[in-house]
A and B are shown apart, each in its own frame.
Chain A
Amino acid sequence: MPSFISIENLSKVYQNGHIALNGVDLDIEEGELIALLGPNGAGKTTLISIICGLVRPSSGSVTVDGHDIIRDYQHTRKLIGLVPQELPIEPFESVIKTVNFSRGLFGKTPNPAYIDQLLSDLSLSDKKYSQIKALSGGMKRRLLIAKALSHEPRVLFLDEPTAGVDVNLRKETWDLIHRLRENGVTIILTTHYIEEAEEMADRVAVINNGSIIVVERKAELMQKMGQKQMFLELQQPMPQIPEQLGDYDLYTQENGTILVYNYETTRKRTGITSLLKDLSSMQISFRDLRTEQSSLEDIFMDLVDERVEILEHAESKYASNS
């Protein structure tokens, strides 16, 4: 049984020679929320534009619900709703007309009850007959989501849903996405805000320079890649790390009042018990203890850096060979 969305060896080279995607493989299950995380220009928008039919792939294939997106586009596109990054709208149309237009365009006969419910869910009911140009930025974005959902799609693509929006609106958008998620819609969102992926995603695919570097369940990614730090607030300041503790990855903060221990959660033994034993045998006492997990942001930076290092390494190797 193939995945709901299956992307195989997908590449895109634009006419100007820019390689936007380079052999991307990705499987997406129905009902999950996956975040495509990557810096600007990484290829996120190209990837979703290909799946939605806006960009032609150079090679590779994509199937949605088992159907090829090019050969069977009339089947696959009915299942997909797209909310683009910008806010492209016809300013003089009314809210209800543009939503009905979208529904018709995607081959569905009118269903006023569904549309009314949709507008109400997106807090647009009182703007039903307003001209679009009279809406605020937040309302316009909600309207685009309403248009994308007007034909009852099973999967929703959100391209940078919170790029350039204020904190309140971002929070509002996140709540909305959570609600959609609860209704069983498969959601694929692109973002360059790590915070966003961390807040919402079941899985995270990190994409950089047209390739997917890693795809992992968010929790596993954080656990696998994650370093944890234990902070011990000492009773007595420690000017330097005693030699007996040389085996541990330790350093001090705040003039020696805080001892920080770095450890990896993936190891069988984290070394916490033995460190605490050693500290007690050295009569070092502490007032408080807390641990912190590295955020997706740190993981992301590590991944991207690692990638750059590999590339640099390959380049220097190539240079020395030639």
Chain B
Amino acid sequence: MNIPGIKAIFMHEMDRARRTIFQSLVSPVISTSLYFVVFGSAIGSRITEIDGVSYGSFIVPGLIMLTLMTQSVTYASFGIFFPRFTGTTYEILSAPISHLEIVIGYVGAAVTKSLIVGLVILATSGLFVNIYIAHVGWMLLFLLLTAFTFSLFGFLIGIWAENFERLQIIPLLVVTPLVFLGGSFYSVNMLPEFWQKVTYFNPVLYLVSGFRWSFYEISDVSIMLSLGMIGTFLMICISITWWIFKTGYKLKE
């Protein structure tokens, strides 16, 4: 195991976040605060409670998930895309480091960064609304699994993307809409029956639902279904990653 190699990639990525601290940490916090002002105060004053939880508190897990997913994808995709863009991948590909070690370095850093942002947002939320966490262990498990899955997904996008536009297109056109439509800001029960059925095809619903359950013990679907879904998505990402390194897709001639 090339431990110094993994550490080098990990620290290199963490250092990038430190250099761009405003973009990495401050901007997610500001946008979360804006959500609280708009959704929590303006809309929340009309929707008083959902399943016995105040609307402001209800949206906290969804907001954390929204940030966690978009940031995981962004960090990991940028982390591997940037060296491809500047041409510095030659060094990684010529180093005595296995594919698994490369993934641990890049994805590990993305997971760490998005977890930090997620926890900072949780703390920020505490300034606006009352939060209680019923199952801390489950909450952390969902946080970790989601960060890991979406970081791996971001890593794949970073390898697939040929330009900055492609790099942005998945987070903007796929991840964000799925999170918005996945019950982050409402309970699925509030939708008409037809749209409820449509929502069940959205994988993000299961993540948000499970995560919210760990807070308030209310959920749209069962906790085991939530875990099963995220497990499935994770396996798909791992399989594609394995295939990419096996074939050298977009990395090696």
List residues of A whose CB falls within 8 A of some B CB. 14-15, 49, 52-56, 73-78, 80, 82, 84, 86, 88-93, 97, 100-109, 147
Contact = CB atoms under 8 A, between A and B. Distances in A.
Given A88-B88, A90-B86, A54 B96 contact: no
Contact of A56 (B4, B9, B82, B248): B248
Nearest to A76: B96
Given A90-B86, A91-B86, A107-B2, A102 B91 contact: yes
Given A74-B98, A106-B96, A84 B86 contact: no
B242 interface: no
Contacts of A49: 253
B5 A15 contact: no
13 contacts: A74-B96, A74-B97, A76-B96, A80-B94, A82-B91, A90-B86, A90-B88, A97-B12, A102-B8, A102-B91, A103-B4, A105-B92, A106-B96
B15 interface: yes
Contact of B90 (A82, A93, A100, A104): A82
B: interface residue count bin = 20 to 34
B98 A90 contact: no
B217 to A, nearest CB: 45
Contacts of B8: 100-105
B146 to A, nearest CB: 29
A90 B86 CA distance: 6
B88 A54 contact: no
B252 A77 contact: no
Instruction: Among B5, B12, B96, B98, find the residue whose CB has the most chain A CB atoms closer than 10 A.
Output: B96
Interface of B: 2, 4-5, 7-9, 11-12, 15, 19, 82-83, 86-88, 90-98, 248, 252-253
Given A15-B253, A49-B253, A84-B87, 19 more contacts: A53-B93, A54-B90, A73-B96, A75-B96, A82-B90, A86-B87, A88-B86, A89-B86, A90-B83, A92-B19, A101-B12, A104-B5, A104-B8, A104-B11, A105-B92, A107-B4, A107-B5, A107-B97, A108-B4
Contact of B95 (A89, A105, A109): A105
**Nearest 10 CB-CB pairs, A to B?**
A104-B8, A88-B87, A77-B96, A74-B96, A52-B94, A105-B95, A104-B4, A107-B2, A55-B253, A105-B8
A14 B253 contact: yes
Nearest to A75: B96
A103 B95 CA distance: 10
A88 B85 CA distance: 9
A88 B84 CA distance: 10
Contacts of B248: 56
Contacts of A89: 86, 88
A74 B101 CA distance: 12
A84 B91 CA distance: 9
A53 B252 CA distance: 9
A77 B95 contact: yes
Nearest to A108: B4
Nearest to B93: A54
Contacts of B94: 52-54, 77, 80, 82
A107 B96 contact: yes
